[in-house]
Amino acid sequence: MIALASDHGGFHYKERCKTLLDELGLAWKDFGTTSDESVDYPDFAHAAAEAIQRGECDRGIFICGTGIGISLAANRHKGIRAAACQILEAARMSRLHNDANVLALGERLVDWPLAEKMIRLWLETPFEGGRHERRIGKIEIEE
C-alpha cells in the first residue's frame, strides 16, 4: 500500500498519482489534502508517515510545491527516509543506496512527465543492501 500525501501545492500531482498507481495495479491510501485550497503540509506528511511507521502502508509518495517542506516533516518520524528528488538519478539512488521509503516531489519544480518517470523508477528500484545497510543504521539519532 502506497501512502499519498500533499498540500495544496502538490494536490494535482497527488491526484495524478492515484491514476498512475491504479494503472500499475498498486493499492494506495490518500492522506490528503482534498483540494488546492491553502493548507499546511506537515499535517498531511505526519499522518501519512505515521501510517508507514505503523505498517499500514509500505512506502509513500508525498508532494508539495518543492518537495522540500513535506520531506522535512516526514523525516521527523523514526524510520522514515524521505528523499526530495528532482531528477531521475536521484529517485533511483534514493532507493538503491538509501532505501528511501518516501519519494517527495515538487509540483512547481518538476513537470508531470518527469515526475511520472521518477515515480515508476522509484517504485521498481530495489534497495541494494550490503554496505548501505550499515550507513542507513547510522542515520537516526537516539534522543
Report the C-alpha gap between 23 and 100 in whole angstroms: 23
Concerning whether 57 is annotated as a catalytic residue, the answer is: no
Task: Quickly list H helices, the chain.
Answer: 11-23, 41-53, 68-74, 88-96, 112-124, 131-136
Q: Which of 17, 57, 64, 85 is catalytic?
A: 64
What is the largest distance, in Å, between two alpha-carbon atoms of the chain?
Answer: 44
Which of 12, 46, 97, 132 does the annotation list as catalytic? 97
Separation between Cα atoms, residue 43 and residue 19, nearest integer Å: 23
Question: Cβ(29)–Cβ(56) under 8 Å?
Answer: yes
> What is the Cα gyration radius of the chain?
14
Q: Is 17 a catalytic residue?
A: no
Which residues are catalytically annotated? 64, 97
